[in-house]
Structure 1
Amino acid sequence: MPLALLALAIGAFGIGTTEFVIMGLMPQIADTFQVSIPTAGFLVTGYALGVVAGAPLMTALGTRISRKKMLMLLMGLFIIGNVVSALAPVFGVMLAGRIVASLAHGAFFGIGSVVAADLVAPEKKAGAIATMFTGLTLANVIGVPLGTLIGQDIGWRLTFLIVAALGVLGLLGVAKLIPEQPRPEGVRLRHEIAAFRNVQVLLAMAMTVLGFGGVFAAITYISPMMTNVAGFSESSVTWLLVLFGLGMVAGNLIGGKFADRALMPMLYVSLGGLALVLALFTVTAHHQIASAVTIFLIGGLGFATVPPLQKRVLDQAAGAPTLASAVNIGAFNLGNALSAWLGGIVIAAGLGYTAPNWVGAVLAASALVLAVVSSGLERRTVSRSRTVAGAAAAPAAATAPAATEQAAVPTHH
């Protein structure tokens, strides 16, 4: 394995940690700035919206400079954003820091995937990309729980300083280990943008927004939900996040395995299961063992949707893989922002800390409906194409016998 992949994995580890660790530290951050939990939820919403905006913008900028320089720029933004968050004197400054850090998210994974694939032989490209994404997966098993533990025992500011240090390590790794690659030639954004006129592309991204949004509706408020409803101590949130991370690992592997075999059935099962489990979470959240099992299942079913959703978008936008990849990462985070906002609304309305689970269930069920609609439209399109092809073939088939018969008639001179 090229050492350059390690640099990409470290960057992915840092990005994954800063995205998810905020959930376990929300009560502490809310106390520091004297804001409500729903208001603190804007740290999730703001980050997610930053990814949504930053993914296409940074990817477009990446077509004008070398990929190595672009990755270094992205890690620089990541470092600055986390340092600002760690040192923020008021809530608004911390929110700004989160948004700055988020600008690196989508483009790093989009451009990093291309770089990782170029570092190895053609038959090893998928493995190289998976190696980079291992950093994101491990962040949810190791980085997020440790960051939560440090934040609760010592202080949340230290957590963000450590994440910034990971960014410095990733930046140095990119500068030292990744070879210089020329600026991409012949890239035309208008060609890639044209792919988004395809209704199937839009439906696929809508499924991404709603499907993964269901996960974040519950997980954004997991810390206050588990401490105030299930009766866990604050320190227990750490191992609950480990369970969620382990579920993510399992779900990602299962989703990746079956997405190539039966993509739409995999989406039906994962989205339907996710909607059901989120609805049940309103009940199981009152019991410690049941809630722990449910958190694992949410991580598993939620991330089982990621490979098929990503592949669905790329299949439907075959002419625009780079931009589609970055925009779909933005779509995941748009779902995060939407669900965090809606979850905050239902909590602020006095419906309780379990109310966001109903929000998540409705979002996941809506994604399932879109999956069925998308599949139906696809079948109709295929059927129409076959009908047109058959109609075109019929005259040719009718003409052939007539021509043969005419040729068989004797000609008299």
Structure 2
Amino acid sequence: MPRAVYLLGLAIFAQGTSELMLAGLLPEISTDLGVSIPAAGLLISAFAVGMLVGAPILAVTTLRWSRRAAMLAFLAIFALTHVAGALTSSYGVLLATRVAGAFVYAGFWAVASVTAIELAGPEARAKAMSILAGGLTVATIVGLPAGTLLGQHLGWRSAFWAVAVLSALSIIGIVATIPRGRAERTPELRHEVRSMANPQLWLAYGTTALSTGAILVIFSYLAPLLTETTGLSDGWVPAILALYGVGALIGITVSGRTADRRPFSTLVLSLTGVIVAAVVLALATGTPWLAVPAIIAVGTFGFATNPAVNSRVFSVAGSAPTLAAAFNISAFNVGITVGPWLGGLALDAGAGYSSVGWIGAGLGVLAFGTIPLAVCAAGRARRSAVDQPAYESASSITGA
């Protein structure tokens, strides 16, 4: 695997720390800004909305840019939004900086995904994406607990300053490792848009959105769930979040080794694990020795879905991956938006923190239901390719 793929993963770590760290900072932000826990949780959804919109818009806007220039611009803006977030005392301003930072983070994800896939080659798509997304997983293990500790001891603003510094360091890494110039083949917008008509892509997006929502409805409220329902002290939160991250790293690493060859089998196993873990958590929220392993299992099986859905999208997209990758980032963030929103609705209705487990299990079941449809669509595409080989490239239907 080229070294540049790992360095792109490090850049995702810097930005992913910001994406994740609010899960451990909700109580501090809620108290400091004078808003409720569900309102503070909307900062997570706001970040997801920015990514949802930003990925396709920036993918199209920067289609003819040098990928190096695009990634540097996105990182610089991301760092500035965190400086602004650290300085504000307004909930509204903080909400706006979360949307703006996520907007360019989505653009970085889209460009970095295509870059990593091309560097790795078609036989290692899932492995390359597992390394790239592994930066987000390491952020769960290191960045999230570190941000939580900073927030608890130095105030939540210190975590925002730390992300700004990490983003600046990532800019240096991109300058040092990604060559100047454009890709050998400049993407054509018309070709990219035409590729989006493939129904297999939209089934893959559905799996992405639903599986992500199943994880995020639980993850977004872990800190208050652990302290208010499970009965653990604040000091346990960073450690459990780190264990969640270790499980996520194991899941994404193993899946990255299997998803290129068996994406559907990997998805079946991963989603089954998410559903079972979410049900256990819902039933045993007040029992630490059951709730904590269930939380870790959600991270392990939830992140294992990532390489499989990414590999599937790039396999189906064939020679027009840029816009397909951008919409997959948007699909992830549909899940990230809807998950915390549904959890907030349940909590506001007085359902208690066990409700996030039930919602996670329900979304997992819906995600599982997309797999048979995707298998059937892939089978029809294969048969069409055999019947009409002159009209369809084999590269557009591989990866089933």
TM-score, L = length of structure 2: 0.89
Residues 229-308 of structure 1: pairs in structure 2 closer than 5 A: 229-308=229-308
Residue 333 of structure 2 corresponds to 333
Cα distance, 1:368–1:9 mapped onto 2, change above 3 Å:
closer
Is 1:144 matched with 2:135?
no
Partner secondary structure for residue 232 of structure 1: coil
Residue 371 of structure 2 corresponds to 371
Matched-pair contact (CA < 8 Å) for 2:347–2:353: yes
Matched-pair contact (CA < 8 Å) for 2:129–2:307: no
Tell me the amino acid that sits aligned with residue 43 of structure 1. L
Is 1:94 matched with 2:94?
yes
Deviation at residue 175 of structure 1 after TM alignment: 3.0
CA distance in 2, matches of 1:172, 1:18: 19
Residue 348 of structure 2 corresponds to 348
Residue 135 of structure 1 corresponds to 135
CA distance in 2, matches of 1:120, 1:199: 26
Residues 4-403 of structure 1: pairs in structure 2 closer than 5 A: 7-116=7-116, 132-182=132-182, 185-379=185-379, 382=382
Greater mean alpha carbon deviation, residues 231-240 or residues 175-184: 175-184
Matched-pair contact (CA < 8 Å) for 1:10–1:166: no
CA distance in 2, matches of 1:229, 1:182: 53
CA distance in 2, matches of 1:215, 1:145: 18
Greater mean alpha carbon deviation, residues 117-126 or residues 296-305: 117-126
Matched-pair contact (CA < 8 Å) for 1:215–1:298: yes
Greater mean alpha carbon deviation, residues 96-105 or residues 125-134: 125-134
Deviation at residue 143 of structure 1 after TM alignment: 1.1
- Structure number with greater Rg is 1
Deviations 1:6-31 (A, max 9, x none): 65343211111001111010111111
Deviations 1:65-113 (A, max 9, x none): 2222111110012111211221221111111111111012232133224
Matched-pair contact (CA < 8 Å) for 2:259–2:308: yes
For structure 1, the 5+ residue unaligned runs are 390-413
Tell me the amino acid that sits aligned with residue 295 of structure 1. I
CA distance in 1, matches of 2:232, 2:135: 29
CA distance in 1, matches of 2:155, 2:385: 61
Partner secondary structure for residue 180 of structure 1: coil
CA distance in 2, matches of 1:80, 1:354: 38
Deviation at residue 214 of structure 1 after TM alignment: 0.1
Partner secondary structure for residue 179 of structure 1: coil
CA distance in 1, matches of 2:285, 2:27: 18
Residue 395 of structure 1 corresponds to none
Deviation at residue 317 of structure 1 after TM alignment: 2.1
Matched-pair contact (CA < 8 Å) for 1:106–1:327: no
CA distance in 2, matches of 1:164, 1:181: 27
Residue 396 of structure 1 corresponds to none
Matched-pair contact (CA < 8 Å) for 1:81–1:99: no
Deviations 1:142-193 (A, max 9, x none): 1111111111111100001111111111123323443212266542122112
CA distance in 1, matches of 2:3, 2:318: 30
Tell me the amino acid that sits aligned with residue 155 of structure 1. G
Aligned residues: 388
TM-score, L = length of structure 1: 0.87
Matched-pair contact (CA < 8 Å) for 1:21–1:145: yes
Cα distance, 1:130–1:257 mapped onto 2, change above 3 Å:
closer
Matched-pair contact (CA < 8 Å) for 1:145–1:238: yes
Tell me the amino acid that sits aligned with residue 343 of structure 1. G
Matched-pair contact (CA < 8 Å) for 1:250–1:300: yes
Matched-pair contact (CA < 8 Å) for 1:25–1:156: yes
Deviations 1:115-167 (A, max 9, x none): 45677899999877665544322211111111111111111000011111111
Deviations 1:344-365 (A, max 9, x none): 0000001012211111111110
Residue 401 of structure 1 corresponds to none
Cα distance, 1:220–1:192 mapped onto 2, change above 3 Å:
same
CA distance in 1, matches of 2:50, 2:120: 32
Matched-pair contact (CA < 8 Å) for 1:30–1:37: yes
Matched-pair contact (CA < 8 Å) for 1:4–1:173: no
CA distance in 1, matches of 2:275, 2:120: 39
- Matched residues, percent identical? 34
Cα distance, 1:120–1:259 mapped onto 2, change above 3 Å:
closer
Cα distance, 1:249–1:48 mapped onto 2, change above 3 Å:
same
Cα distance, 1:184–1:61 mapped onto 2, change above 3 Å:
farther
Tell me the amino acid that sits aligned with residue 257 of structure 1. R
